[in-house]
Structure 1
Amino acid sequence: MRAGIVYNPVKADREALAAQVESAQPIEWSEPVWFETDADDAGEAAVRKALDADIDLLLVAGGDGTVRVAADLVTATEVPLAIIPSGTGNLLARNLGIDVVSLKNAVRTAFDGEQREIDLGELEVESPDGKRTKHAFAVMVGFGLDAEMIDKTDEGLKKKVGWLAYVDAAGKVINSLDTVRVQVRLDGGRTVRSTVNTMLIGNCGTVTNGIVVLPDAVVDDGMLDIALVRPKGVRGWLQVGGYVARNNLLVTKVLKRTGRLGKQRTGPALGYGQAKETHARLSEPRAVQVDGDVVGDAIALRATIRTDALVVRVPKQRPHLGVAV
């Protein structure tokens, strides 16, 4: 048995990681093979090299972009994926209950955690010039506040203060955020027309700093969760804030995890939905983000779900893979 380790040298300390791998790896395993990512391809070449090296476990130490690339490529193999959180958001790791603070705990989960099958989303983006591109996603995609916030985040500030840089960016864009008319169809049903400033489509519901934005999302339920954010004025934003605050109360999270809380209700400022396939057409182009990376402007989106496509290592004794408490 042998592990392949893909790491981003900007985000992960190889020496510290190697020490933890040596301590946690079963003694009968062979020496791991290491592959350093290249900023030009978000780690794609490194992941491909690792998978070509006849490994039995793929460890990925990098940001959300590297994890997304690895998740997409590893689905074509039988190799399980182990995430070593090393970025700012660590979104998939948070939703799987992987320790995003302790390197030691994350590496131990990689070698002695449980294996779980989870879903993987796929987004097809139609740009204003008609070109179409596809992007795998493990956590969430969308346009509006989240995409603009990511696009305006100062990378230098993010290196200094981490997730707080997103708060700074949000303050810059929220007052200037324009609405857009959108036509949405879920699973071939009727087309719903709405005016929104943000649309989210997620496989998971928890984002940066553990904030829950899609309360009904479960990473292995075979469904995508959708949110349409459509506040009107200050009162509307207060309603959205109320929804988010309620979804992040400890009691709400516990009730959700124990199955004692039903589906979230929609309101005039925020609407929720679920589907296996989602189509959206916009009246004007908007920037789109995929698991924290802006991939360009879109005039139309199509999101689908690949059920049980990815095998991941998660901490033991976690029967539910829903919203992390």
Structure 2
Amino acid sequence: MNGPSEATTGLGDRPGCTGYCADMRAGIVYNPVKVDRDTLARQVETAEPIEWSEPLWFETDADDSGRAAVRAALAEDIDLLIVAGGDGTVRVAADEITSTDVPLAIVPAGTGNLLARNLGIDVTDVVEALRTAFGGAEREIDLGELEIQAPDGTRSKHAFAVMVGFGLDAEMIDKTDEGLKKKVGWLAYVDAAGRVISSLDKVRVAVRLDGGRTTRSTVNTMLIGNCGTVTNGIIILPDAAIDDGMLDIALVRPRGVRGWAQVAGYIARNNMIVTKLLRRRGHLGRQRTGAALGYGQAKETQARLDEPRAVQVDGDVVGEAIALRAGIREDALRVRVPGEHKHDEGPAV
């Protein structure tokens, strides 16, 4: 009888081995405001393969959105970075990890959990998310880059994994009551949207895609997305895919109540089960542009506003801008996702 093969013993070589992975170790970055370490440690013990070494733990600091903790984790000899926190912590980790060969895994612990939703990661079960972290498939995804110019001329840069923009989304996030968000979660955003939508000011904006012709429009909201699903799984940018090397743009420009009804109609249709199914099977063409809602796609987007507006980046308001530029870094991240990923599946729904 022949000796046991690698397949039967599970012996594999680092990195990226399957089965028995000697001395594999994860670094866990966690936000103590969102996550209880003792509880998470018990959940990690349940999900972590027995062959893995004890993980290293790094607590985030609110002063730097967790950047120091992520850098400390990546400075160690880790084979996997697990981030347990909200969208802000995940965004910082995504930005920092792009210069390494370490894959990123997400344990959703925020209100929106935007990137996790777009990757199909379970946002309701921590243990299941951890099983994906240790045993899921790996997927290469894009990362967006945003540069904004403030009214005083200063510039700042921000990485984004999901979506940036100004208008309704930024004002809604800015006006959301934090106490209410802790009590009712994403429903607090609905409360904020109801309060700001009637008073939302329009702004004249000049937009240029991939160095082409500049178009001018009066809008309530502009969105630039690396992927298209937001809070509670609502699809806003139906053509967006997180690994297509493109940014998707939406200009929301309703006129009065009828215009807002048209916008609501677009969104409702895009979120119908039959629409999602037809899109996944490739039976639908690209999203149509209408009077109330315009769509575009580009590798680089530039916009200049007549008046400054608050800008949000993956759910965090980062300041006011009079101009912005967004680009894309293709295949910048390796992330752990559930099961076997097929490249042609498109965005998660």
TM range (shorter): over 0.9
Q: Give the corresponding residue for 2:346.
A: 322
* Counterpart residue number, 1:202: 225
The number of aligned residues is 325
Is structure 2 residue 167 aligned with structure 1 residue 157?
no
Deviation at 1:41, TM superposition (A): 1.0
Shift of 1:321: 5.6
What is the RMSD of the two structures over their aligned residues, measured on CA atoms? Answer: 0.9
TM, length-normalised to structure 1: 0.98
Q: Which runs of 5 or more structure 2 residues have no equivalent in the other structure?
A: 1-23
2:87 aligned partner? 64
Shift of 1:24: 2.0
Q: Secondary structure of 1:40's match?
A: helix
- 1:104 Cα deviation from its structure 2 partner: 1.1
Who is 1:219 aligned against?
Answer: 242
Alpha carbons 1:218, 1:321 under 8 Å: kept = no
Q: Who is 1:33 aligned against?
A: 56
Q: What is the alpha-carbon distance in structure 2 between the residues aligned to residue 45 and residue 310 of structure 1?
A: 19
Task: Report matched runs for 1:101-116 at 5 Å.
Answer: 101-116=124-139
**TM-score w.r.t. structure 2 length?**
0.92
Supply the distance in 2 between the matched residues of 1:288 and 1:323 (Cα, whole angstroms): 24
Distance 1:32 1:58 in 2: 10
Deviations 1:157-211 (A, max 9, x none): 1000000000010011000000000000000110010000100000010000000
Whichever residue aligns with residue 55 of structure 1, its letter is I
CA separation of 1:104 and 1:321: change in aligned 2, threshold 3 A: farther
Equivalent in the alignment of 2:208: 185
Task: Provide the rounded CA distance (Å) in 1 between the counterparts of 2:239 and 2:245.
Answer: 12
Task: State the match for 2:109 in structure 1.
Answer: 86
Give 1:45's match in structure 2, choosing from 53, 68, 86. Answer: 68
Structure 1 residue 15: deviation in Å?
A: 2.0
Deviating above 6 A after TM superposition, structure 1's stretches of 4 or more consecutive aligned residues are: none
Deviation at 1:13, TM superposition (A): 2.2
Whose Rg is larger?
A: 2
Contact 2:139 2:341 (C-alpha < 8 Å) held by counterparts: no
Once residues 199 and 286 of structure 1 are traced to their aligned partners in structure 2, the CA distance between those partners, rounded to angstroms, is 11
Show CA shifts across 1:201-253 (max 9, x none).
00010000000000000000000000000000000000000000000001111
Letter in 2 for 1:275: A
Following superposition, the deviation at residue 132 of structure 1 comes to 0.8
2:274 aligned to 232, 247, 251, which one? 251
- Matched residue type, 1:148: E
Instruction: For structure 1, list consecutive stretches of 5 or more residues without a partner in the other structure.
Output: none
Say if 2:329 is the partner of 1:306. yes
Does the 8 A contact of 1:184 with 1:193 survive in 2? yes
Please tell me whether the aligned partners of residues 219 and 252 of structure 2 are also in contact (alpha carbons under 8 angstroms).
yes
C-alpha change, 1:279 and 1:91, in structure 2 (3 Å) is same
Check whether the contact 1:253–1:323 (CA below 8 A) recurs between aligned residues: no
Residue identity opposite 1:218 in structure 2: A
**Does the 8 Å contact 2:163/2:227 carry over to 1?**
yes
2:265 maps to what in 1?
242
Q: How many Å separate the matches in 1 of 2:51 and 2:257?
A: 61
Verify the 8 A CA contact 2:168 2:196 in the aligned structure 1: yes
For the pair 1:281 / 2:343, whether they are aligned, the reply is: no
Deviation at 1:147, TM superposition (A): 0.2
Query: Relative to 1, partners in 2 of residues 1:39 and 1:70: Cα closer, same or farther, differing over 3 Å?
Result: same
